[in-house]
Amino acid sequence: MFSRAASVLSSVVLVAATGALPGTAPQARAEVRKGDRAADFVQVVDSAGKRVSLKSFRDQVVVLTFGASWCEPCKRELPAMEKLARRYQQRRAPVVFLAVNIDNEIAKGKKYMQQAGLRVVRAIYDSAKSTVESYDPPKMPSTFIIRGGVVRHVHAGFATGDETALAAAIDGQLKSR
């Protein structure tokens, strides 16, 4: 009796710790981290339906954020990102801000992005979820700062004031170019 209870308990601990059932392989996590090569975009399009590639921004610092209309922190993050993007645009800094919407329906994502009032932040759409799966963000929203094809900074989640830390990370990348 004790050994059966211990076996059940160890199985519960295994599932909780790894997400895997006994006798199965744990799920692999491909979470992109600082120092990793940045994956190029897969099936990502802009609002006109044109494919977008990360490689086309190779000479810039890329601020890449993943979010969706159902994500409450994302609704606070986008206006802060837009304000930050306008500041770098005024400085003529080589920084591009990309907001990847992962809603299942592009029309819903477009409506959400329009409501966010994005003018400088470029809205792109990953309804197939191919690119978001490549990056495997730890939270929604998650922001990746990329320079030279390498992830230089990862910021998970968003709370008011986080834009200050993101600006410092962007400035650090601009200085090390």
3-class SS of residue 26: coil
pTM: 0.81
Residue 110 has pLDDT above 60, yes or no: yes
Question: Strand 95-101 to strand 61-67: parallel, antiparallel, or no bridges (unpaired)?
Answer: parallel
Among residues of the chain, what percentage have pLDDT more than 90?
77
- Whole-number pLDDT of residue 30: 61
pLDDT at 28: 43
Confidence tier at 157 by pLDDT (50, 70, 90): very high
Looking at residue 81, what is its pLDDT? 96
Check if the beta carbon of residue 162 is closer than 8 Å to that of residue 153: no
Q: Which amino acid makes up residue 51?
A: R
Mean pLDDT within 117-142: 94
pLDDT tens digits along 35-47: 899 999 988 999 9
Residue 65 backbone dihedrals phi, psi, to 5 degrees = -125, 140
